[in-house]
Amino acid sequence: MVSIKFLASILTYSIGLCGLLPLFPWLTSAPRLALLLGLAVGLWQDFKGNWPFKTWMQNGAIVPVFLYYAIQFSRANPVQPVVSILAIMLAVRLAGEKTVRHSLQIQALSLFCLASSSLFDLSPIFLLYLGLMLFLVAIALVLLTFQDQENSMLLPKRDLRKVLIAGGLMPLLSLPLLLFFFPILPRTQMPLWNFLSSPTVRTSGYSDKVEPGVQPNAGESRALAFRAEMGRQTPQRLYWRGSVFNTMQGNRWVRADGVPPEVPVFSGPKVDQLIYPELSVSRVMIGLDRPTEISLNRLKRSPDGVFEYSGSLNKHLNYRASSAPDGLVAVKGAINKPFYTKLPVDISPRITGLAAEIVKAVNTDREKIDLLENYFRNGGYRYSMTGLPTGPDALEQFLFIRKQGHCEFFASAFAVLLRSAGVPCRLVGGFKGGNYSELGGYYLVSDDMAHVWVEAYIEGNGWQRIDPSSFAANAGEVWNDKKSRSLILRMKLTLDYLNYEWNRSVIVYDFEQQFEYARKAGKRLQGINPANILRNIFPYVLAIALLIALLFVVRRTSLFNRREERILKRFLRKVEKEHGISVERGELGLFEIAERADNQRVSEFSGIYAGALYRDRRLTDDEYRRLQQILREGF
């Protein structure tokens, strides 16, 4: 025998954990301490079977706490006071006696806590907690119904199993409705919770300026920057364009306003991508270098291939991009060469002298670029994130003394030498590389892949992509495509695929996608031929009809009835034959028949059969054999 109250208490604690665990990391210290204390006190009191903390004490303790957090509530801080009071109310209820009423309150508060955790993070873990909570709540409600009738009720394990199955089937049967309603329920253009709390945004791996020499060591973040759904590309094509830096101020490269007009001419095959960027403070939309088109409303396009979004950054975006990834873009007409060859007046004479020395024997831009590339390849430069030159002369240290640095040093130094030699150029900030997920068919690009390279203008050809970092002596070690296909990375990509499907199917599923799916469904419905459908489904309909008919025949044939039904029919026929008692099913009970027959064997049959029937169980083999013997011997 199992105590219903004990099981209901276990389920109540489990439901409480489903509510507080996803919210716990986002709480301040006081609500966290209250939850831990409430859980410990509740378990201790349940173990002792004594509850010295009465309900009125708990309710009275909540009032000053509620007032404290109500004072903190404001438009600037609406979320933290609300979730804190919810957590403390849940802690107080967990600390008290688990009556039916209090258990229902714990379930409601747990659901509110789980819902409020989505204000901070709506990951697939939320769905896991929600699904688990729905199953636990359904079973707990069934058990609480029994507890409400009798607080100390005990159930046999066999009966308890039926109760648990019945409770578990309720949410299970509702899943098809969930899958049906989710795609068709109306969506808003703005997420519902955004008026309360702006989603957490991150600073992207690249910034709005390139400034080598600020720090001696560069940190790396492996946070996700974006995903790009597309076919696999060669490593030479995996440059993701973000911003363009066209002006040098001291050691710093920035993007100046008033970008000179130019008309790019794209050639060669295009690569289409579906980009899912993470929330970021940057308004620059990423695309495979060089993007020819990005499909997104409220987008500003600059002549140098930079796309800036002017809409809200507080929601997840996804957009389509088309790119010409070969690294060379022709230009129709001329460019503003003075703008792209301008250098600060205080540029180091040693750097300009080096440029003049390298290119003194050649005249064309192509030849100058080739000589500078050879200088970097053979100059003993190494790619490094530590031991970096610092100070106002950082570029000079990099070129002549340290000879080691990251992509900002390589790109900045190369661009300064190009401009000193009279070759128009600019810096491009974005990302390089990406881990390809075979499961999802997309590239996973993280912040540590942020990169800077150079675009140089070659007369008659156009803008040519040049990556000076690739000229480093250790470039093969830094960007080895085969080095990272480890078991850990494969596991990471598998887990990320699940998160990617969640984001694509749930997070970014908005009104626009809903409208697009409805439009496609409408077009398909218009192309449906009813005659073909009937012809295709007729065999299945016929098979189902035959199966239903067969089941009907089986149910109506006594040969297939359970043995309890068969032996009861034999009993009723024999009673009618030997005692003249005609009984229609449902008119008389077994004990009434035995009373009218006034026969010991009839009474024995009725007692054995009713003992099984009224206890909702099948006849045992011994009972069945005894009933058969009674019928054979007669009344």
- The residues, ordered by sequence, that sit 6+ positions from 212 with a Cβ below 8 Å of its Cβ are 251, 388, 389, 394, 395, 398, 405, 406, 408, 409, 412
| Across 323-347, average pLDDT | 94
Q: What is the pLDDT of residues 381-428, one digit of tens each?
A: 999 999 999 998 999 999 999 999 999 999 999 999 999 999 999 999
Q: How confident is the model at residue 54 (pLDDT cuts 50, 70, 90)?
A: confident
pLDDT digits (tens, 9 = 90+) for 488-543: 777 777 877 777 777 777 666 555 565 665 666 666 666 667 777 777 787 888 88
Distance CA 254, CA 243 (A): 10
Query: What is the pLDDT, as a whole number, of residue 368?
Result: 96
More confident residue, 474 or 592: 474
Q: Are strands 263-265 and 239-245 parallel, antiparallel or unpaired?
A: unpaired
Burial grade of 216 (CB within 10 A; 0-12, 13-18, 19 or more): exposed
pLDDT at 58: 77
How much is the pLDDT for 526?
Answer: 67
Report d(CA 332, CA 264) in Å as an integer.
6
Sign of CA dihedral 147, 148, 152, 154: negative
pLDDT for res 250: 87
pLDDT digits (tens, 9 = 90+) for 471-496: 999 998 888 755 555 677 777 778 77
Angstrom CA distances, 70 to 60, 64, 74, 79, 85, stand at 16, 10, 9, 11, 9
In this predicted model, which residue has the larger pLDDT, 575 or 504?
575
pLDDT above 80 for 295: yes
From the CB of residue 90, how many other CB atoms can be counted at a distance below 10 Å?
26
Extract the tokens encoding 462: 């156009």
Closest Cα to residue 236, out of 482, 462, 466, 411? 466
Hey, what amino acid is at 134? L
Supply 501's token pair.
């499907």
Considering the entire predicted model, what is its pTM?
A: 0.61
Lookup result for tokens 């083999």 = 621
> Are the beta carbons of 384 and 477 closer than 8 angstroms?
no
